[in-house]
């Protein structure tokens, strides 16, 4: 499968341009769409999921014109939206059975097997009789993936799935997501760099509606080799350093501010060369757009 997004643009009626000429190519596997809040990730996800219109551009899933074949696309699609409401007084098992029925699995025995397999897949079998309202955030997200998997989707979209999960729940969710990617296209939208470095074979950085980078996480990090330098400074000195250097991130540790800068050559002045990571890639791409101290 291949998803080809070409020159997609969208301006909302309030004048906000959420997508500016977005072009991306996605193959099977897990694709991370990384960007700060308000970058346009949900707008892009919703457009691919056929839930809203773009003003210009095209999306093709292999030969299928997504924008003009919504019904067909929806049959191939699994979608876990950012705001995933559940009916609190119904069990996971009953809800999945109901959704499977809506998605056209008419045979009750077949549905029973499908629901059992899905619950097992997302590790919710023992909690299947509990009402969804009693589920933790992580359990709700795993239930969300189970419902998105009904009908063997070829394209799975998960919008900010790990926001609000505690570290253990996030780990469990990572394990689940990492099993999905091989024969399907999975698009994972997130503002959490770790989601991408842990899960994704390809990714793009999006900010203010524009694609700033697209490629493989490892290659992106390699490109930063020898260009990241770090130094501990007094907090009050930050603005001086910001005048002289491209400060891409700051971290307060035991009263000192540890800054990381991007520079082609050794800056001297007490800076030490640092091993680059995906956060450096992310912050250096968005640093010119967003004040990194507010992220
Ligand atoms: P992200 O998912 O990366 O946080 P969004 O796609 O939700 O970004 O939002 C991109 C921009 O579009 C933001 O400035 C947001 O306020 C704006 N926006 C999103 N949805 C709407 C809408 N329905 N009407 C008007 N503006 C919107």
> In what helix (H) or strand (E) does residue 59 lie, and over which residues does it extend?
strand 56-61
Q: Which atom of ligand 1 is nearest to the CA of 37?
A: 4
Q: Which of 16, 20, 282 to mutate to test the pocket of ligand 1 (most atoms within 8 A of CB)?
A: 16
Q: Are strands 246-253 and 256-262 parallel, antiparallel or unpaired?
A: antiparallel
> Distance between CA 46 and CA 185 in Å, rounded?
16
Q: Which atom of ligand 1 is nearest to the CA of 35?
A: 3
Going by alpha carbons, the residue nearest to atom 13 of ligand 1 is: 38
Q: In the prediction, which pLDDT does 226 show?
A: 96
Of 173, 207, 208, 210, the C-alpha closest to 188 is: 173
Kindly state the tokens that stand for 220.
């992106």
Going by alpha carbons, the residue nearest to atom 6 of ligand 1 is: 40
Tens digit of pLDDT at every position of the chain (295 positions): 999 999 999 999 999 999 999 999 999 999 999 999 999 999 999 999 999 999 999 999 999 999 999 999 998 999 998 777 788 999 999 999 999 998 888 899 999 999 999 999 888 999 999 999 999 988 998 999 899 989 889 999 999 888 778 888 888 888 888 888 678 999 999 999 999 999 999 999 999 999 999 999 999 999 999 999 999 999 999 999 999 999 999 999 998 999 999 999 999 999 999 999 999 999 999 987 776 555 4
> Distance between CA 272 and CA 3 in Å, rounded?
42
Domain spans, the chain = 2-86+135-220, 226-275
Q: In the prediction, which pLDDT does 170 show?
A: 85
State the alpha helices, DSSP H only, in 106-259. 108-121, 137-149, 167-178, 193-199, 217-222, 238-244
Is the model's pTM score more than 0.85? yes
> Do 264 and 272 form a contact (C-beta atoms < 8 A)?
no
Q: In the prediction, which pLDDT does 293 show?
A: 56
User: How many whole angstroms from 81 Cα to the centroid of ligand 1?
Assistant: 14
Going by alpha carbons, the residue nearest to atom 22 of ligand 1 is: 12
Q: In the prediction, which pLDDT does 295 show?
A: 47
Q: In the prediction, which pLDDT does 289 show?
A: 77
Kindly state the tokens that stand for 51.
């839930």
What distance lies between CA 7 and its chain's CA centroid?
Answer: 20
Going by alpha carbons, the residue nearest to atom 16 of ligand 1 is: 38
Which protein residues touch ligand 1 with a CB less than 6 Å away? 12, 14, 16, 18, 35, 37-43
Q: Left, alpha or beta for 288 (phi > 0: left; psi -120 to 50: alpha)?
A: alpha
Q: Which atom of ligand 1 is nearest to the CA of 44?
A: 6
Count CB-CB contacts under 10 A for residue 70: 13
Fold (CATH) for 2-86+135-220: Rossmann fold (3.40.50)
Q: Which of 12, 48, 54, 189 to mutate to test the pocket of ligand 1 (most atoms within 8 A of CB)?
A: 12
Q: In the prediction, which pLDDT does 174 show?
A: 85
Q: Which of 11, 42, 49, 163 to mutate to test the pocket of ligand 1 (most atoms within 8 A of CB)?
A: 42
């Amino acid at each position: 499968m291949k998803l080809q997004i070409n020159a997609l643009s969208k301006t909302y009626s309030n004048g906000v341009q959420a997508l500016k000429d977005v072009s991306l190519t996605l193959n099977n596997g897990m694709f991370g769409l990384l960007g700060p809040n308000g970058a346009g990730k949900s707008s892009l996800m919703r457009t691919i999921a056929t839930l809203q219109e773009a003003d210009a551009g095209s999306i093709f899933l292999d030969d299928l014109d997504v924008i003009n074949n919504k019904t067909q696309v929806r049959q191939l699609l699994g979608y876990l939206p950012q705001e995933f409401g559940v009916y609190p007084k119904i069990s996971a098992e009953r809800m999945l059975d109901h959704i499977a029925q809506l998605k056209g699995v008419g045979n009750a025995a077949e549905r029973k097997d499908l629901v059992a397999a899905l619950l097992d897949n997302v590790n919710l079998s023992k909690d299947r009789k509990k009402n969804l309202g009693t589920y933790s955030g992580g359990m709700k997200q795993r239930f969300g993936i189970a419902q998105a998997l009904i009908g063997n989707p070829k394209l799975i979209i998960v919008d900010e799935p790990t926001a609000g999960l505690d570290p253990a729940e996030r780990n469990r969710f990572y394990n689940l997501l990492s099993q999905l990617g091989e024969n399907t296209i999975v698009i994972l939208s997130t503002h959490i760099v770790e989601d991408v470095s842990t899960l994704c074979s390809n990714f793009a950085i999006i900010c203010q509606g524009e694609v700033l980078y697209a490629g493989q996480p490892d290659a992106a990090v390699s490109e930063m080799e020898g260009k990241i330098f770090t130094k501990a400074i007094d907090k009050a000195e930050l603005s001086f350093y910001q005048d002289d250097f491209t400060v891409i991130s700051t971290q307060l540790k035991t009263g000192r501010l540890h800054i990381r800068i991007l520079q082609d050559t050794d800056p001297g002045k007490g800076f030490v060369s640092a091993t680059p990571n995906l956060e450096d890639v992310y912050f250096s791409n968005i640093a010119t757009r967003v004040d990194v101290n507010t992220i």
